Amino acid sequence: MGATTDILLQQLFDTRGPLVNARLASEYESVMATAAVSALVVRPTTTAAITFWNGEPANGKSLVIDRVFSFNLVSTATAARATLHYCMHLDMAKPTNDITALRGTGDGREPNNSTVVVDVGATVLNDGWFPAGDNSDVSEQTGTLPGGNLQWEVNGRLVVPPRHAISLHVVSSKTTETFTGGASWWRMQL
């Protein structure tokens, strides 16, 4: 390869390579609910298991979603299948922020708890729920043990602008399956 090709490949790697977002570690945040919510056996409508609301001012930073997930905290079925669903909400009112959450950052600093409001069981508009990621398939499980992890690597394909939100819920074959939802994002000026 010539020098021009090498330079082009390096520029491509720098702007789209696997570590391109590492420089944004100071804007990376993750949140996960501490209390589990029962799965639904029908598609979600107006109640979310967990909602993430972007409280930035109108021209502020957006949440560029890296991943969404939900951990099966209690599995009581001998067999159960579950799928993670998400819903985007435009111009949503601020939720009540009634959650105890585990929050983390990409660089070990204290997370900004004032900008992104996280709520469990929020009443939301049914703006369209969509399944995401791979399903969980628990088989031959007995007792009340943790089960599978539902996760979708979004990689920036969903963006939550200021004053907008994203909600998650799990649809399962059993309501006795309970889940703790969460998400990770970069706060970026777009």
* Confidence bin at 14 (pLDDT 50/70/90): low
Structural domain of residue 55, as residue ranges?
Answer: 24-188
3-class SS letters over 166-182: EEEEEEECCCCCEEEEE
Query: Is 11 domain-assigned?
Result: no
Query: Is 102 domain-assigned?
Result: yes
Query: Is 47 domain-assigned?
Result: yes
Percent above pLDDT 90 for the chain = 43
Query: Is 3 domain-assigned?
Result: no
pLDDT, the chain, mean: 83
20 or 10, higher pLDDT: 10
Query: Is 7 domain-assigned?
Result: no
Number of domains composing the chain:
1
Strand, helix or coil for residue 90:
coil
Mean pLDDT for 63-90 is 88
Mean pLDDT for 5-10 is 68
* Confidence bin at 12 (pLDDT 50/70/90): low
Q: What is the residue-wise DSSP string for 141-152?
A: --SSB---EEEE
| pTM passes above 0.95 | no
Query: Is 16 domain-assigned?
Result: no
Distance of CA 39 to the CA centre of its chain: 16
Query: Is 13 domain-assigned?
Result: no
Query: Is 6 domain-assigned?
Result: no
